A = this chain, B = another copy of it.
Amino acid sequence: MQAYINKAETLIEAAPYIRKFSGKTVVIKYGGAAMTDPLLEQMVMDDIALLSVLGVKPVIVHGGGPAINAMLKRLSIEPSFENGLRITDPQTMEITEMVLSGSVNKKIVQMLSDRSIRSVGLSGKDGGLFEAKLHRPDGKDIGSVGEIVACNTEVVTALMQNGFLPVISPVSAGDEGDSLNINADIAAVKVAAALHATKLIFLSDVPGVLREIGNPTSLISTIKIDEVPEMVADSVITGGMIPKITCAAEAVQKGVESVHILDGKSKHALLLEIFTDKGVGTVLW
Residues of A in contact with B (beta carbons under 8 Å apart): 4-5, 7-16, 18-19, 22, 46-47, 49-50, 53-55, 71, 74-75, 94, 97-103, 105-106, 109-111, 113-116, 118-123, 125-128, 154-155, 158-159, 161-162, 164, 171, 173, 177, 179, 267-268, 271-272, 275-276, 278
* A53-B18, A102-B102, A103-B98 known; A113 vs B173 contact (CB < 8 Å): yes
CB distance from A60 to the nearest CB of B (A): 13
The 10 closest A-B CB pairs, nearest first, are: A102-B102, A158-B162, A8-B268, A98-B102, A98-B98, A101-B102, A8-B271, A10-B10, A120-B126, A15-B53
The reply to whether A154 and B162 contact each other, CB–CB distance below 8 Å, is yes
CB distance from A145 to the nearest CB of B (A): 17
* Residues of chain B with a CB closer than 8 A to A102's CB: 97-103, 105-106
Q: Is the interface of A mostly helix, strand, loop or mixed?
A: helix
Among B5, B50, B154, B171, contact of A15 (Cβ-Cβ < 8 Å): B50
* Residues of chain B with a CB closer than 8 A to A128's CB: 113, 118
* A4-B276, A5-B267 known; A119 vs B109 contact (CB < 8 Å): no
A108 to B, closest residue via Cβ: B125
The reply to whether A127 and B116 contact each other, CB–CB distance below 8 Å, is no
Among B11, B13, B127, contact of A119 (Cβ-Cβ < 8 Å): B127
The reply to whether B158 and A164 contact each other, CB–CB distance below 8 Å, is yes
The reply to whether B18 and A54 contact each other, CB–CB distance below 8 Å, is yes
Among B71, B116, B122, contact of A120 (Cβ-Cβ < 8 Å): B122
* A4-B272, A14-B7, A101-B106 known; A116 vs B19 contact (CB < 8 Å): yes
A74 to B, closest residue via Cβ: B75
* Residues of chain B with a CB closer than 8 A to A11's CB: 10-11, 14, 50, 54, 271, 275
* Residues of chain B with a CB closer than 8 A to A16's CB: 116
A71 to B, closest residue via Cβ: B98
CB distance from A162 to the nearest CB of B (A): 4
CB distance from A168 to the nearest CB of B (A): 12
The reply to whether A106 and B120 contact each other, CB–CB distance below 8 Å, is no
